Amino acid sequence: MNAKTSNGLLLGATVALVVFALAFSRPVTGEAFGSSDVQAVAVVEELRPDYQPWFSPLWEPPSGEIESLLFGLQSAVGAGLLCYALGYWRGVRKNRKGADA
Amino acid sequence: MHIMEGCLPVEHALGWSVASASFVGFGLHRLSRRIKEDRSANLFLGACAGFAFVLSAMKLPSVTGSCSHPTGVGLGAILLGPTTMSVLGSVVLVFQALFLAHGGITTLGANVFSMAIAGSFAAWGVHRVSIKLHVPSSVAIFLAATISDLATYAVTSIQLGLAFPASQGGVAASIAKFLLVFVPTQLPLAVSEGFLTVLVVNLLKSHLGSDKRFPVLTGASR
């Protein structure tokens, strides 16, 4: 299998897993597609009903919109870094090939 | 895997912070030496950090009807080594603790330990063992990234279980309870992380060609 085909299959399989989850799963408890981190807090409350978090976040995104802005920013910076490196290496390699020819 | 701010008792929070600080401190020392010795490795650091930034920002739906996120540390742990990757993984967690209220300052030590340290060492270890057993290189990378992802959530469950033992069954029963919250949701996401890590390694191979510094990329790929 060449690299392009296997990369296509890998990407396709990842998308399929996400779509399958969105289409066919129903939440057992709590809100639909809530966070498993929040479910863990619920288990803490169940195990130790008297436990009070002793510290709260210094700053919280004021709304869901701002939160998605920051998550978007995080992935944009990450994709930028990764793809800059890939593009750079591709260019270096192309140049080297050109020089050899 | 983010333990929320204030959700670990003080002594646990302190203990995990001390444990993580020593690993990350050592990683920083190695990282600064590496940058001095070989400046061209900086781009590799950026690429691996970038992958972890993207993957840990992706809240993906899972078959259990809840959402969680991959970690992205497997790639860097295989390419750069677990101590270096533990530093890069920590950067992600600091960003999320400060600006997203995901995790927190008091739980940073515990979260760094599960994702950046345990996740990195799991990936590195599984990859090494797989290669020793002559597992094909792509399969070795898939296994390393998938198991690293699951190991992160298993360690989170252990941390919470140790902090909040069940009144019946104690620590073990409590760990089982937390595993039941995290693992079923995480399984398909860990598989996705495995696929994406192999994909990026393929891209690195085809764009970079073979690079002597990174035997992972020079090995026969298919």
Q: Domain B10-209: which topology? A: Arp2/3 complex 21 kDa subunit ARPC3 (1.10.1760)
Predicted ipTM beyond 0.90: yes
* Local confidence band at B214 (pLDDT 50, 70, 90 cut-offs): confident
pLDDT > 90 in chain B, percent:
88
- Where in chain A are the domains? 1-56, 67-101
| pLDDT of A76 strictly over 90 | yes
- Could you tell me the two tokens for B80? 């750069």
Express each pLDDT in B117-127 by its tens digit: 999 999 999 99
- Where in chain B are the domains? 10-209
In chain B, the residue whose alpha carbon lies closest to the alpha carbon of A3 is: B202
| pLDDT of B163 strictly over 70 | yes
CB B190 within 8 A of CB B181: no
Mean pLDDT within A23-39: 83
Using the Cβ of A69 and the Cβ atoms of chain B, whether some distance falls under 8 Å is answered with: no
Q: B25: distance to nearest CA of chain A, Å? A: 23
Q: What Rg do the C-alpha atoms of chain A give, in angstroms?
A: 22
> Could you tell me where the beta strands, DSSP code E, fall in chain A?
34-35
Using the Cβ of B171 and the Cβ atoms of chain A, whether some distance falls under 8 Å is answered with: no
A67 by Cβ neighbours in 10 Å (0-12 / 13-18 / 19+) ranks as middle
| pLDDT of A2 strictly over 60 | yes
Express each pLDDT in B42-99 by its tens digit: 999 999 999 999 999 999 999 999 999 999 999 999 999 999 999 999 999 999 999 9
Tokens 């290669």 correspond to what residue? B131
The strand pairing partners of B60, in sequence order, are B68
Mean pLDDT within A20-36: 83
Averaged confidence pLDDT in chain A: 91
**pLDDT for residue B38:** 86
